[in-house]
Amino acid sequence: MPHPNSKIMEKKMKQTVFAVAAALLCLPSTLPAFSAEYTTTLADQQGVSVTIYNRNLALVKDRRTITLPAGQNILAFREVSAQIKPETALLSGGELDILEQNFEFDLLTPQALLEKYVGLEVTVIRTHPTTGEETRQQGKVLSANNGVVLQVGDHIETGIPGRLAFDHVPKNLRDRPTLTMLAQSQTDQPQQVELSYLTGGLGWQADYVAELNPEDTAMDINGWVTLTNQSGTTYTNASLQLVAGDVHQAPPEEPARRLMEMPVPMAAEMKDSMAEEQMFEYHLYTLERPTTIRDNQTKQVALLQAGQVPCRKELVLRGADYYYRSQYDDLGQKMKIGVFVEVANTKENRLGLPLPKGVVRVYKKDTRDRLQFVGEDRIDHTPENETVRLKLGDAFDVTANRKQTDFKKVSGFTRYDYVFEGAYLIELKNAKKEAVTVKVVEPIPGDWEMLAESLPHEKATSSTAVWQVEVPPQGAATLTYRVRVKF
């Protein structure tokens, strides 16, 4: 049997709960009100500057004028790079405090829209093939993974049986890459802010076009900067700077996804070449005028022009160090002779500029004054007063035959004290109507001594012997030598 005071205690408890609830309802709310979203687009942009590095990296500084109500708001910064590194984003200027920020990269596409509607109803619109009459029926999206699965009425259909109509676009789908920020604004007046961030999708390289003179003793060189924009947005009237050098980036914890290669249109800018300066341990190139870098575009900007730059052509036959370790007979017939061109990057040689890494493509006019492509090579960053060396291909009319004519072990019982002696013959043939000089480069291992030779050699390094062999027109020349090698 219940205690006689239990009903009285229960009644008092209920009265206390109601009193506390009423008091709480009368207190002012301490939770922030719903924050409205305000959007800034490229129409608000006052300027943009882009600094592009060599390895798919760029620094973007986007200046815009925005107007927000005083208080807490959601600022949607539209048309940023789709490959932005969100952790590097920094909004500065104005009277704003950023409380949090999110990069909305879930873009509006037919597939994304279907995925967001899984579990929701859509309208299935069918068109009669003969009458053209349209019928509408409600269906429920069951799956959008590798195709569409719909529940229409009392049955299940796969694929899209006609057109699908959606009631609305989900709020978490964006038509453009957008950086959203929860911002506390101290003013309701217009204020200028700058969003800076690092991004992928922007890259550059140097491309050089060189034309050899008829004697192969000089060339005209034109340098271009080739920009590629696959970042997902356009940079209009941007201040452009390029950094030449290998800037270190912290390696990712997981392998980065490779960018999909896609065809891009090309635009060329002929005027106002770039000014160069040293910056930290790199070189900075600045375009002296604004330029527009459109999304999915390749653009070329003039970098340098130099006329009649002296150069030197070389025909090179290079050997291998294994020739001197064992006994062989024939070491090669009709061996290829490499064709190289060297250019000194000096002011005396009409250059003398830091050359960013890139590809040098070389052309030459034929007897009918038509320009023909004769080869290309890739160069690394080349400072002033260094030499640019290009391999353009292999000679067609100059070949070599090589053989070992003698080989013996002089002394030694292990591979660490062997002494070998070998003799070699190199026959160079020239089918051209003019004489040529072939540079024969032999890498000789160990401690070596030249015992005999038909032409004097130069000891270029401790492990390299070099001969300059003159080969007469439509003739041949022979180089013989005997060398002792101690391991």
In this structure, are residues 422 and 404 in contact, taking their beta carbons and an 8 Å threshold? yes
Do 283 and 294 share a structural domain? yes
Beta-carbon contacts of 21 under 8 Å, excluding residues fewer than 6 positions away, are none
Q: Is the pLDDT of residue 270 over 70?
A: no
Rounded to whole angstroms, the Cα distance separating 324 from 444 reads 7
SS3 at position 115: helix
| Domain co-membership, 129 together with 80 | no
**Is residue 158, in this structure, part of any structural domain at all?**
yes
- Do 455 and 327 fall within a single domain? yes
Mean predicted confidence (pLDDT) in 293-299: 93
- pLDDT tens per residue, range 151-208: 888 888 887 778 888 888 777 667 677 888 899 999 999 999 999 999 999 999 899 9
pLDDT greater than 60 at residue 31 = no
Residue 345 confidence (pLDDT) above 70 = yes
Residue 437 has pLDDT above 80, yes or no: yes
The answer on 320 and 189 residing in a single domain is no
Residue 49 sits in the same domain as residue 126: no
What percent of the chain is modeled with pLDDT above 70?
Answer: 85
**Are both 316 and 442 inside the same structural domain?**
yes
In this structure, the answer to whether residues 102 and 50 fall within a common structural domain is: yes
More confident residue, 391 or 56: 391
Q: What's the confidence (pLDDT) of residue 63?
A: 96
Q: What is the pLDDT of residues 57-103, one digit of tens each?
A: 999 999 999 999 999 999 989 889 989 998 899 999 989 898 988 87
pLDDT confidence of residue 428: 97
Residue 20 belongs to some domain of the structure:
no
Distance CA 468, CA 15 (A): 111
Rounded Cα–Cα distance for residues 43 and 48 (Å): 12
pLDDT at 47 over 80: yes
CA distance 223 to 220: 10
- The answer to the question of residue 257 being in a domain is no
Domain count, the chain: 4
Lowest mean pLDDT: which of 114-123, 351-360, 431-440?
Answer: 114-123
Number of continuous H segments (helices) and E segments (strands) in the chain: 2, 32
Tell me which of 365, 385, 405 is where a domain ends: 385
Any idea which residue has 């003039």 for tokens? 302
Whether 75 and 147 share a structural domain = no
Written as one string, the DSSP assignment of 253-288 is: SSPPPPPPP----EEEE-SSPPEEEEETTEEEEE-S
Asked if 328 and 422 touch (Cβ cutoff 8 Å), the reply is no
The reported pLDDT for the residue numbered 30 is: 35
- Same domain assignment for residues 83 and 141: no
Report strand pairing: 330-344 vs 312-318. antiparallel
Asked, for residue 13, whether it belongs to a domain, the answer is no
State residue 278's pLDDT score.
65
Reported confidence tier of residue 253, pLDDT bands at 50, 70, 90: low
What pLDDT score does 283 carry?
79
Residue 298 has pLDDT above 90, yes or no: yes
- Reading the block at residue 72, the tokens are 């807490």
User: How many angstroms separate the CA atoms of 106 and 175, rounded?
Assistant: 9
- What lies within 8 Å, CB to CB, of 475 at 6+ separation is 429, 430
In this structure, are 297 and 321 located in the same domain? no
- Kindly calculate the radius of gyration of the chain based on its CA atoms and give it in whole angstroms: 37
CATH number for position 413: 2.60.40
Please indicate, yes or no, whether residues 461 and 316 belong to a single structural domain of this protein.
yes
The reply to whether 18 falls in a domain is no
373 and 242 part of one domain: yes
481 token code pair? 């030598």
Q: Is 318 domain-assigned?
A: yes
Tell me how far apart the alpha carbons of residues 198 and 60 are, in angstroms, rounded to a whole number.
6
The backbone torsions φ and ψ at residue 256, rounded to the nearest 5 degrees and listed phi first, read -75, 145
Three-point CA angle 341, 343, 344, nearest 5°: 150
Q: For the chain, what is the largest distance between any 2 Cα atoms, rounded to a whole number of angstroms?
A: 131
Helix residue ranges per DSSP H, 334-375: none
Domain finish residue from 385, 414, 444: 385
3 inside domain: no
In a domain, 30, yes or no: no
- Beta pairing class for 235-244 and 282-286: antiparallel
Q: Which domain holds residue 155?
A: 110-165
How far is residue 157's CA from residue 135's CA, in Å, rounded to a whole number?
Answer: 16
Least confident residue range of 76-90, 99-113, 441-455 = 99-113
Q: Whole-structure pTM over 0.75, yes or no?
A: no
pLDDT at residue 436 in the model: 96
Residues 200-237 have pLDDT tens digits of 999 998 999 999 999 999 999 999 998 999 998 999 99
Distances (CA, A) of 239 to 69, 279, 283: 31, 17, 17
Residue 151 structure tokens: 């529940």
